[in-house]
Amino acid sequence: MSIWAAGLNVWHHLRRAAAISCRLSLVLRASVVLLFVLAGSLGPAHASYWSAGLAPLGSGNGVRCADGFACARINQEAFYGPDIIKGDCRYLYAFGQLAGASCDGWAGYFNGQPIFARPGFAGLTCEDGEVHTANGCEKKPPADKDRDCHCEGGNPVDMRSGRKVETVLDYATEGANPLKFERYYSSDTSYFGSPYAATRLGLGWRSNFDSRAYFVGGPPS
């Protein structure tokens, strides 16, 4: 074989190897992209869990679950057995945040009414970096110093409490000391203390002409 023919044969082998390498590179890149897409579609992983105590009371025995109702049922059966009359399950909230779950149950019936409650309970635990919300455990929001300055983002809803708030100026005179009638609305009538009753303006509405009487002091000495 001449030097020219040998060189041409080597060139063909190099081209074939380059083509195979290119195809492998494309396959690898596609695989990496697919992995990222699958990882993104799974959503963020939360390490929160439900837990419930087991019998005997005070033993420190417990169980962890992925579902609050299932955990509450395990707690219920651990203390009262599987033969009780079982009712509905519900979530428990503390200050508007999901905190636990409970399942109703009774020992039996008397005159058609369930007697001797036999409930089950479970608690929700958030891991580091998570906080309790109305929907469960979610990633902790950024610190106040790191937030965007969107102060009016919730208007007319108070973003601190979730209250619907509104201020309406109905009448005002001219001058340095105007006479005005102004109305204020809050969907939570007990936010600033004891709840107040409905006025002629409607439930939740107050005005700058409203007055209230408070009892101050204690029993006479």
The rounded distance, in Å, linking the Cα atoms of 77 and 57 is 13
The rounded distance, in Å, linking the Cα atoms of 110 and 121 is 25
Which residue is listed with tokens 């990496």?
32
Q: Give the pLDDT of residue 206.
A: 84
User: CB-side exposure of 32: number of CA atoms within 13 Å?
Assistant: 6
Q: Give the pLDDT of residue 193.
A: 59
Q: Give the pLDDT of residue 15.
A: 53
Q: Give the pLDDT of residue 38.
A: 31
Q: Give the pLDDT of residue 4.
A: 47
The rounded distance, in Å, linking the Cα atoms of 221 and 157 is 46
Q: What's the N-to-C CA distance of the chain in angstroms?
A: 125
DSSP-derived 3-state class of residue 10? helix
pLDDT tens digit at each of 221 positions of the chain? 455 454 445 445 545 554 444 443 433 333 333 323 333 333 334 468 999 999 888 888 899 999 999 999 999 999 999 999 999 999 998 877 889 999 999 999 999 899 999 999 999 999 888 888 888 888 876 666 555 655 555 557 777 677 888 888 999 999 888 899 998 888 877 765 556 666 778 888 888 888 766 555 556 65
Answering whether pTM is above 0.75, one says no
The rounded distance, in Å, linking the Cα atoms of 47 and 120 is 23
The rounded distance, in Å, linking the Cα atoms of 66 and 37 is 25
Query: In the chain, what are the domain boundaries?
Result: 15-43, 49-139, 151-212
The rounded distance, in Å, linking the Cα atoms of 53 and 75 is 6
Q: Give the pLDDT of residue 125.
A: 93
